[in-house]
Amino acid sequence: MANQLLQGKKVIVTGGSRGIGASIVRELAEAGAQVAFTYSSREESAAAVAQGLPGEGHFYVKMDISSEESVQQACDQILAKWPEIHGVVNNAGITKDTLLLRMKAEDFDSVINTNLRGTFLVTKTLARTLMKNKASVVNITSVIGQTGNPGQANYAASKAGTVAFSKSVAMELASRGVRVNCVAPGFIATEMTEILSEDQKKKILEKVPLGQIGEGRDVANAVKFLISDESRYITGHTLSVNGGLFMD
C-alpha cells in the first residue's frame, strides 16, 4: 500500500510540468495529496504529468510567475476549486547564466523577477488562505544560493534572497500556524544535466562526498516531509539535498 502521509491535503506546486517540479508533483500525489500544479508554456508536458498521477482531483493551470496579474488569475482559478490549501511548493524558476561582465541588466532582472519576486507573489497572494489552514510552504532554493558560482550571480542572488525571504515570512506567519521552509538541491539529474559531457559530470562528482548525482525523488522526498505534519515543529529552515556538496 502506498504511503498516505499527505492524505486529505491539497497542495499547490509551481513549475510542476517537468524536471524536479514534476518529481515533486508525483511524490506528493503518491503520498495521498491532491495536487494543483502550474506550467508556463508547454501544456502538453503538464498534461503528460497529470495523466500519470495516482489518485483523483489533480489539475494544472497556466501561470507566468513573473507576472502579478498571471499569478493572481492562476491562484483565483485554484481557489475557485479549492477554498482550502494545505501546502504550497514554490518551485518554478529559470537560469540565464553568464559571467558578470557579460551579463545584461535584463537577464539579471528576469531571473530575480521569476525566482525571487515570483516566490513572493505566490506566497503573498495565498497568505490569507494559508493562515486559515495552518499550511506549510516549501520554497525550492539551490546549493548555488549557499556557495555562489561563477557565471550565476543572478541565480545565486535569487536563491539566497529566497532563503532570507523564507525566514522572514516564517517569523511573520508562525503565530498563525504557517510554517515556511526551504529545500536546497545540489547536483540533480534533470533535462539540463543530460546535456553535460561525461567529463563535466565527473568533475562535478569529484566535489560530491557521496559520489553520485541526486535524483528528482531525493528532492521530492524532502519536500514531502516538510509539507507533512511530521515536520510540524520545523520552520525557517533550509534542508540541503546535495550529497554533501555543501555542509552548513
Average pLDDT of the chain is: 95
Averaged pLDDT for residues 226-234: 98
**Cα angle for residues 155, 130, 219 (degrees, 5° grid):** 45
Q: Give the pLDDT confidence of 27-85 residue by residue, as tens digits.
A: 999 999 999 999 998 899 999 999 989 999 999 999 999 999 999 999 999 999 999 99
Considering 39, 60, 155, 233, which one is annotated as catalytic?
A: 155
Residue 93 has pLDDT above 50, yes or no: yes
Please give the Cα distance from 29 to 27 (Å, whole number).
5
What is the per-residue pLDDT for 1? 40
pLDDT of residue 192: 66
155 is catalytic: yes
Cα first-last separation, the chain: 36
Tell me the domain boundaries of the chain: 10-241
Give the separation between CA 5 and CA 28, rounded to whole angstroms.
Answer: 9
Distance between CA 177 and CA 233 in Å, rounded?
10
- Phi/psi for 171 (5° steps) reads -65, -40
Q: Is the dihedral of CA 226, 183, 94, 68 positive or negative?
A: positive
pLDDT digits (tens, 9 = 90+) for 153-205: 999 999 999 999 999 999 999 999 999 999 999 999 987 677 778 888 888 89
Q: Are 28 and 220 in contact (CB under 8 A)?
A: yes
Helix, strand or coil for residue 215? coil
Fold of 10-241: Rossmann fold (3.40.50)
What distance in Å separates the CA atoms of residue 130 and residue 88, rounded to the nearest whole number? 9
3-class SS of residue 140: strand
In this structure, are residues 111 and 65 in contact, taking their beta carbons and an 8 Å threshold?
A: no
List, in sequence order, the alpha helices (H) in 153-215. 153-173, 191-194, 198-205
Distance, in Å, from the CA atom of 36 to the CA atom of 88, rounded to the nearest integer, reads: 10
Place of cell 490569507: 128
Angle at 231 between CA 225 and CA 233, to 5 degrees: 165
Nearest CA to 126 out of 13, 26, 41 is that of 13
CB 26 within 8 Å of CB 2? no
Q: Parallel, antiparallel, or unpaired: how do β-strands 87-90 and 10-13 relate?
A: parallel
